[in-house]
Each structure stands twice: as C-alpha cells, then as structure tokens.
Structure 1
C-alpha cells in the first residue's frame, strides 16, 4: 500500500485519485525546472494573490503567449539564451501534463536536456485541471515496473 507522501505543490494530480505511477516524479521535476527558470517558489505569498501559485501563472502566460515574462531575467545568461529557455519551458510543460500518460519518462527528459530528442509538440497547457487518462486501466499502472524500464537506455 502506498500512502501519499511529498511536499504540497510538488505532488502530481493523480495522487488525489490514488493512481500512482513512475510519472509522479516527472511531474515534480517539472515543478522544480519551472522554479529554476522563473527564479521563484511554486507557492509564493510575497507575490500578489493572483500570482501565489506559479503553475497558474505559467498556464496564464502560455494562454496569452507571454511565457518569457515569468522567466527570471536578472541573470545575463538568461537574457542571452532565450531560445534554450523556451525549450526548457516546453520541457517543463511536457513534464506537467495533468494526464500522466502524456508525460515523458525521465529517460526522455534526459534525452531532451542532452539535445538528443525534441519535446512533444501537442501539449495541453491546462495545468490546473487534473484528469485521469481515458483508458483508466489502473491495474496495469499499479504493476511494479522493473528499474531497467524506468530508467531506459540513454
């Protein structure tokens, strides 16, 4: 029996329905990547109330086409590598898909970071609407997965 453990704000939406897969860690990585790019915490009460939750700000910026506005541009490197930053924002978006079946494996994330693979192009930018995948085959998802499959070849 797996019980819910983790830091609020970093837990994948499927924890609410008790469908736990290897993709919960991918979701958490997406939150951390987003925090690094934006230079702020996932939940920050020092921001105006409508901006407390980084994920909702991120979603709003994708919808408005202003995603670079939330990037921490206090660093010269961030200003110089806008193309790479956009790729990392897409990587974070891929990791933050509410449907865990649409999230990449961590092996795929590593390949994207090493520039050996591209981010999926048909992403859902509605990060605040947790939904279970349509096939809802929880038995398959709860089967132990061998470490060789989880890490996969690089």
Structure 2
C-alpha cells in the first residue's frame, strides 16, 4: 500500500548481476510502459538500485487465472466468466500484434500469466520475454524462451518466432479454461495426460463436449457454443503456421454467431516434458527423434 492508500503489486527482481536479467528488466519496462489496453496489465512505475529492480503494477485482486482453473479456487468460475476471459485475452493479444504501432510478441502466454481484476476481467502480464517483430519480417529466428507445453512447435524446435506463436499458446489456454485441466496432468491416464492430444481425439470422435469442466452447470452454456470455441482453440494450434488465424480474426470468430464452419487439422505439439507428439506421417519417427533432441538441447540451454 502506498502512502496515498493506493494498493499496487510489486514484482521484485533481486538477481540482476547477469546481462540477461538486466535485458529482461529493461525490455519489460520499455514495452509495457507504452502499452495501454484494458486487457493488458498496466505498469505504474519502476525502480532500479544496485542488483535489485522493482516493477510496480496495478493490483489484480483475483490473482492469476491458473488458480481458478486447477488451483485452490478451482471450479468457481462460471461459463460467462470463462467466455469473457477468453474474449478479453484475444482482444489484448490482437492489440499487441496488430493495433499497437509495432507488433509485440509476448512469447509466454499461459494461464499463470493472465491476471484477473475485481470483475474477473483478464489482463495479460509478464512481458519479460516479449519481442518486437519488425514490419518487414514475417518471423524472427531466435533462441527458445517460454514454457514448453504452451509453445508452438516451429518455435520450440526451430526457433522461428512470429505472432502466430502467441496464437498457438492462446489456443492451449482456451482448452485449459474450458476443461479446468492443466496442459499436462500426470494424475490422469497416459492417453489423456496431455490436454491438446486429448482434445483432438475427442474432436475426431465427435465427442469433444466431454472436454468441458465437470464443475460447470450444464444449464449455464449451450453445447454448440462450447464446441465451436473448442474448434477455435484447435484452429489456433494447427501445425501449419499460415493456417492459424490472426488474433483479430480470432476475436471475430469468438463473437460471430454466423461465421463459416471451422475445420481444424491435426496438430503437432510439444508437451511439457519435451516430447514431440501428434505426428501424422508414417515416416515421422525419425523426425520426432530429431525434434526431441532439438528440444532437449534448447531446454538445456
């Protein structure tokens, strides 16, 4: 609490001896200080003294989304709140990618980086890994940074970074919001541990409604609406980068009741323990081995 009675949130970075830590701090300050959107957390100030750096943000009373999906407050979000969180996240990302004067790629979209205010409106946080995409570039080639399981395969394996990496991660978070499950849940059976793989199998079997969190009241939502949003999530996680929609297109899909039929293709993905899954060709074994080796190397770095 500040002297004027205002409550704020302070992010403390106490290890600033490395050049990487200093770069992350400076990157977050430069980017977020110029970004103003209702679905992006607002930076109020910063301080750097010696090896300690502080970032002062607006306070989010309801903490992070993951606590409501599979943490201590699991099962307390109703369908309307979940839908509004999905739409708010999409709008925040669309602003970063297409409405801000430069394209900003977040690189670490996940449920723990989505904060909720008093009214459960989402605000995307933690811009320490964010990168700018120059206007004349379709993508960047860069070292992997982010969270495996949420990360698009072309970036995790080859270091190819574009705004569609955030689109992929957003699709994963949608599945978490609808199912109330972690991306990789070791408490479940092997064939259902990885959420995206489980969702795709249910989609193939035309039984995707089974993905819905059992804590939701069936009278709160229309099955057709939920199925469509799951299909949008699967569209966001397609293997072919060009086949994924932009985030502004995602906003339109989420809010439109008469948009075209959605026909996603089978995803290839990296789970949270560095396995390549979802390969479709008969010759995929060698590809998967090479990719897994690449991921293991990237993770080690």
What's the TM-score once normalised by structure 2's chain length? 0.40
In our comparison, the structure showing a higher alpha carbon Rg is 2
Mapped to 1, the partners of 2:279 and 2:162 lie a distance apart of 18
In structure 2, the gaps of 5 or more residues are: 1-140, 269-277, 282-301
Query: Hey, what does 1:151 align to over in structure 2?
Result: none
Which stretches of structure 1, 4 residues or longer, exceed 6 Å deviation after superposition? none
Query: Is 2:200–2:234's contact at 8 Å kept on the other side of the alignment?
Result: no
Secondary structure class of the residue paired with 2:197: helix
Give yes or no for the alignment of 1:45 onto 2:189: no
Give yes or no for the alignment of 1:96 onto 2:237: yes
Query: Hey, what does 1:129 align to over in structure 2?
Result: 279
Deviation digits for residues 48-70 of structure 1 (CA, Å, limit 9, x no counterpart): 12211111111211121111112
Query: Hey, what does 1:70 align to over in structure 2?
Result: 211
Query: Is 1:33–1:92's contact at 8 Å kept on the other side of the alignment?
Result: yes
Mapped to 2, the partners of 1:5 and 1:120 lie a distance apart of 34
Query: Hey, what does 2:31 align to over in structure 1?
Result: none
Deviation digits for residues 50-95 of structure 1 (CA, Å, limit 9, x no counterpart): 2111111112111211111121132115753211101101110110
Mapped to 1, the partners of 2:183 and 2:203 lie a distance apart of 17
Query: Is 1:43–1:53's contact at 8 Å kept on the other side of the alignment?
Result: yes
Query: Is 2:235–2:263's contact at 8 Å kept on the other side of the alignment?
Result: no
Give yes or no for the alignment of 1:112 onto 2:262: no
Deviation digits for residues 14-47 of structure 1 (CA, Å, limit 9, x no counterpart): 1112222110000000000011111101100111
Where is the helix percentage greater, Structure 1 or Structure 2? 1
CA RMSD of the aligned region, Å?
Answer: 2.3
Higher relative contact order (CA 8 A, sep 6+): 1
Query: Is 2:168–2:237's contact at 8 Å kept on the other side of the alignment?
Result: yes
Query: Is 2:235–2:264's contact at 8 Å kept on the other side of the alignment?
Result: yes
Cα pair distance change 1:130/1:29, threshold 3 Å: farther
Cα pair distance change 1:105/1:71, threshold 3 Å: same
Query: Is 1:58–1:67's contact at 8 Å kept on the other side of the alignment?
Result: yes
Cα pair distance change 1:117/1:10, threshold 3 Å: farther
Query: Is 2:176–2:183's contact at 8 Å kept on the other side of the alignment?
Result: yes
Give yes or no for the alignment of 1:6 onto 2:156: no
